[in-house]
Chains A and B, each alone.
Chain A
Amino acid sequence: MTRKEELLQDVVIKFAGDSGDGMQLTGSQFMNNTALLGIDLATFPDFPAEIRAPQGTLPGVSGFQLRFSSDKVYTPGDECDVLVAMNAAALKTNLRSLKRGGRIIANTDGFDAKNLRLANYPDGVNPLDNDSLSGFEVIKIDVTKLTREALKEFTMGTKEKDRAKNMFILGFLYWMYNRDMINTISFLKEKFGKKDDILNSNIKALQAGYNFGDTTETFTTRYKVDKAKMEPGMYRSIMGNQALAYGLIAASEKSGLPLFLGSYPITPASDILHELSRYKNFGIRTFQAEDEIAGITAAIGASYGGSLAVTTTSGPGLALKAEAVGLAVMLEIPLIICNIQRGGPSTGLPTKTEQSDLLQAYYGRNGECPMPVISASTPSDCFDAVFEAVRISVQHMTPVLFLSDGYIANGAEPWRFPKSADLAEINVSFKKALDEGETKLRPYLRDEKLVRSWAIPGTPRLEHRIGGLEKEDITGNVSYDSENHEHMVKTREAKVEKIADYIPEQKLDSGPDSGDILVLGWGSTYGAIRSAVTELQDQGLSVSHAHLRYIRPFPKNLGNILRNFKQVLVPEINNGQLIKIIRDKYLVDAKGYNKIKGVPITKTELVSFLRNML
């Protein structure tokens, strides 16, 4: 049978099902398959807060959104073209984000009376049977039945057979988007290598899904998306937390400092702990501490001993660590504190994204307690940004707060990964001996950067004591002297401000150097701002975009950039935090665009907001 082949430019698919349906796996397999073809993409996984919310219910729905395109992709897409709904709850929770005229691939078995009731549909109402979906194209497939049929020769129980449902759907989509299945088959072989039955049933279900598309006459069209025009080079796909872990490992190799991670599990930061724990052959020491405080204080101990010390957490954990962060500021020792933000306050929305810890990162400690703040703006940017955070931390003897969020931590994108040889060395040295004329170490003697030396235990003649009490400058002795205290507060501040001399100037991401509107962003809003601003620029409007990596200190030229525009807009997934600092520091009348719904800002809403400003 011959089929039409239609060429598409940009597709957004959302895989949605019960959290037990394996949608994350299905989505990431399709993602890898897409990436390997050189198509650009971005993903947005969306998990329920409960590990196993009751099956079939609305809170139990787990989703994975994938956008792929032959154009450059900056966001996982505002709306979906295709919604895979494994059950009624998945349809109900995701229908809102489906484009008018979009396509629904529904597993009819997930729309039986029980599933409909669990999804809160009124008695006797099945959206697949009435005209409520008339604005969409609905493809109904009884995935459960077809999977069972395909696996009828297998001896395993029905429950086990049903677990392969997601492979059937994946196979069907592979057919629909004209793909081969080699990468998934080898993935399955690696995953189930020793369990023949499970391996073969999954492969069989995958092929059955593909063949179902091929032999069912109603499916008349297959789709294709061409390779994207990306910078030449070798690519792989990468998730934010993974890139962050790799960035730390790379920084450890490039600085020659052994990596130590002290951490307590917390969503959405735990994957960094998992990832680093896998690479013991890099000499990495990971320590799952008894609590957040032990995580950071163990890291402080490791840093004191000369390791590249890291602690990872999310908002509530950062609050618990605050006192220890203050100790690190007082000790003036290197330390990387990674905060993968989530919705707050308190436990808040653990699996939803938010940028609401910026003020906590900036100010959230007792006393005058300045430290650098660095943020990552896309999944792969976590690699470069954390590498830079390490450089600043060890070269300026200061703890550094690194901000990411759930959206980029779990999102994935293609990454033109660097070669180890192309990464800059991070020069760092311990103090080895007393200087000429010194009879004992002066631990708070500073160089021109206002940075003190790193003298680690085990070094003869440099024995000294440090601590959380106020220090006398130079000697480091405990001092309650009021003049000294003021001097030290100002010095610690000046030391952090001085870092601005050692970071690049702020560049515009796009647009002219001056004009009507500057959109100033930080963190995970990068993709949405980039897409919105480009769209308006294409229409000839005067809008520019600057995206901050360095939030404390700001690049030295930031004030000048801001003053070159009639208006400044600061979009944030919070109630207005960067904007407060910008207004305070530069006295500009910046406006905010704020969304606090646990989901990213979309391009569409930003475009319409910006239009209204012009």
Chain B
Amino acid sequence: MTQQPTLPALTPKDFQTDQEVRWCPGCGDYSILAQVQKIMPGLGIPRENIVIISGIGCSSRFPYYMETYGMHSIHGRATAIASGLKATRPELSVWIVTGDGDGLSIGGNHTIHLLRRNFDVNMMLFNNQIYGLTKGQYSPTSEENKVTKSTPFGSIDHPFNPLALAMGADATFIARSMDRDPKHLQESLLRSYKHRGASFLEIYQNCNIFNDGAFEIFTEKGSKPEETLFLEQGKPLIFGAAKDKGIKLDGFHPVVVQLGDSVSADDLWIHDENDFYKAQILVRIFDDPRKDQHLPRPFGVFYETDRPCYEDVMSAQIQEVISKKGKGDLDKLLRGNEVWTIQ
């Protein structure tokens, strides 16, 4: 066993910077920042090995508030910048902060490619279903008919289902959490961190200025138990204030069933994070909570699988070529195969 160097114990405070946090009072971003700062000391990584990269948007101010290395870059490109950093410095712990506009609209292309390549990075997508920084236009996750500054007659765009998109891009870790459930968020962040590969964590985040209450139905005490479903590995899909409802698979269709005499927990869908095919259905449970007979919204880890990380394969390939051809020799390269001499 290798000797781990003993690190001075860090506290969440060690991850705070001297910069004044500039989000609107009441913004969900505060909670996310607090949870990240809470889990960081427990990771056992020295601060200098942590890098947080963001794009543009309210959430992308994040790096300024974290006493680590960080870059507040340009719109949509945090994922691509992180790719280059991780490809060249695999030992760093790289975290990406993005939003629904940054990561799914202007930067959508880089998001899917980051996921398929499977760099070992942690991507936190703050989804508030609105453009906050530009003061209130609809985003690619806003619901249909949404009235915003740029859609006075209602949005005619069909929204993205971010997790289904991640699934389609062959992400190796897919999870959802929310700003209003600190404990669940901390667990989700830890799981993201522990996953070796690209972790895609969608975080529902309330924008109390331009889209207040977008996720209220999932986050508020009164409706939360009936409207949400918390996934646990190996456990049946049970929800409801009285834990009396469950989800069963009827063929390929998930249906809500009442637990009781005829249906027991054993009849329900048992969650298996590693089941690729069931995960396809799980990420598709994305009903509009305003509709009758809708399914509850799942939270937790939907899917996780093991696939070699890009940077590891890249390094291995370099090593392989070196062992085959020998280390590069500049003079040999410059000389080439055919030379002639002029006296």
Are A234 and B341 in contact, with the CB atoms below 8 A? Answer: yes
Q: Interface with A: B61-69, B276-284, B285-293, which one?
A: B61-69
Task: Please tell me which one of the listed residues B84, B88, B326 contacts residue A258 in the complex, with CB atoms under 8 A apart.
Answer: B88
- The answer for the CA separation of A107 and B342 in the assembled complex, in Å, is 37
Are A287 and B70 in contact, with the CB atoms below 8 A? Answer: no
User: In the complex, which residues of chain A have a beta carbon less than 8 angstroms from the beta carbon of B341?
Assistant: 38, 232-235
Are A465 and B318 in contact, with the CB atoms below 8 A? Answer: no
Q: Interface with B: A142-150, A292-300, A483-491, which one?
A: A292-300
A-B CB pair tally, cutoff 8 Å: 204
Are A260 and B84 in contact, with the CB atoms below 8 A? Answer: yes
Q: Is A464 an interface residue (CB 8 A)?
A: yes
Q: Known: A281-B328, A293-B80, A467-B63. Contact between A32 and B338, CB under 8 A?
A: yes
Q: How large is the interface on B (under 10, 10 to 19, 20 to 34, 35 or more residues)?
A: 35 or more
Are A462 and B48 in contact, with the CB atoms below 8 A? Answer: yes
User: In the complex, which residues of chain B have a beta carbon less than 8 angstroms from the beta carbon of A458?
Assistant: 48-49, 89, 91-92
Q: Known: A291-B109, A299-B84, A302-B87. Contact between A463 and B68, CB under 8 A?
A: yes
Q: Is B3 an interface residue (CB 8 A)?
A: no
User: In the complex, which residues of chain A have a beta carbon less than 8 angstroms from the beta carbon of B110?
Assistant: 290, 293-294, 297
- The answer for the CA separation of A237 and B340 in the assembled complex, in Å, is 9
Q: Is B156 an interface residue (CB 8 A)?
A: no
Are A230 and B318 in contact, with the CB atoms below 8 A? Answer: no
CB-CB nearest in chain A for B311 = A285
User: In the complex, which residues of chain B have a beta carbon less than 8 angstroms from the beta carbon of A293?
Assistant: 77, 80, 110
Are A327 and B328 in contact, with the CB atoms below 8 A? Answer: no
User: B94 to chain A: closest CB distance in Å?
Assistant: 9
User: In the complex, which residues of chain A have a beta carbon less than 8 angstroms from the beta carbon of B322?
Assistant: 280-281, 283
Q: Is A417 an interface residue (CB 8 A)?
A: yes
Q: Interface with A: B34-42, B139-147, B247-255, B329-337, which one?
A: B329-337
Task: Please tell me which one of the listed residues B64, B330, B333, B334 contacts residue A465 in the complex, with CB atoms under 8 A apart.
Answer: B64
Are B330 and A249 in contact, with the CB atoms below 8 A? Answer: yes
Write the B16-31 contact mask toward A (1 if CB under 8 angstroms, else 0).
0101000000000000
Q: Interface with B: A90-98, A265-273, A303-311, which one?
A: A303-311
Task: Please tell me which one of the listed residues B49, B70, B342 contacts residue A232 in the complex, with CB atoms under 8 A apart.
Answer: B342
Q: Is A323 an interface residue (CB 8 A)?
A: yes
Q: Known: A38-B342, A280-B317, A417-B335. Contact between A262 and B84, CB under 8 A?
A: yes
Q: How large is the interface on A (under 10, 10 to 19, 20 to 34, 35 or more residues)?
A: 35 or more
Are B88 and A418 in contact, with the CB atoms below 8 A? Answer: no
User: In the complex, which residues of chain A have a beta carbon less than 8 angstroms from the beta carbon of B88?
Assistant: 258, 260, 285, 301-302, 305-307
Q: Known: A36-B340, A235-B340. Contact between A467 and B92, CB under 8 A?
A: no
- The answer for the CA separation of A148 and B58 in the assembled complex, in Å, is 72
User: In the complex, which residues of chain A have a beta carbon less than 8 angstroms from the beta carbon of B63?
Assistant: 465, 467
Q: Is A460 an interface residue (CB 8 A)?
A: yes
Are A457 and B51 in contact, with the CB atoms below 8 A? Answer: yes
Q: Known: A297-B77, A305-B89, A463-B68. Contact between A35 and B318, CB under 8 A?
A: no
Are B333 and A279 in contact, with the CB atoms below 8 A? Answer: yes
CB-CB nearest in chain A for B60 = A467
- The answer for the CA separation of A230 and B340 in the assembled complex, in Å, is 12
Are B72 and A465 in contact, with the CB atoms below 8 A? Answer: yes
Are A281 and B46 in contact, with the CB atoms below 8 A? Answer: no
- The answer for the CA separation of A467 and B72 in the assembled complex, in Å, is 4
- The answer for the CA separation of A538 and B24 in the assembled complex, in Å, is 76
Task: Please tell me which one of the listed residues B73, B321, B339 contacts residue A327 in the complex, with CB atoms under 8 A apart.
Answer: B73
Task: Please tell me which one of the listed residues B67, B325, B326, B335 contacts residue A236 in the complex, with CB atoms under 8 A apart.
Answer: B335
User: In the complex, which residues of chain A have a beta carbon less than 8 angstroms from the beta carbon of B334?
Assistant: 246, 250, 417-420
Q: Is A580 an interface residue (CB 8 A)?
A: no
Are A460 and B318 in contact, with the CB atoms below 8 A? Answer: no
Are A234 and B339 in contact, with the CB atoms below 8 A? Answer: yes
* Complex A-B, nearest 9 residue pairs according to Cβ-Cβ distance, in ascending order: A467-B72, A301-B84, A298-B84, A282-B328, A301-B85, A301-B81, A294-B80, A297-B80, A280-B321
* Chain B residues engaging chain A, CB cutoff 8 angstroms: 17, 19, 46-51, 53, 56, 63-64, 66-74, 77, 80-89, 91-92, 109-110, 113, 314, 317-318, 321-322, 324-328, 330-331, 333-336, 338-343
Q: A305-B92, A465-B17 are in contact. List 12 more A-B contacts (CB 8 A).
A: A35-B338, A36-B340, A280-B322, A287-B83, A297-B74, A304-B81, A326-B74, A331-B71, A420-B331, A457-B69, A458-B89, A466-B72
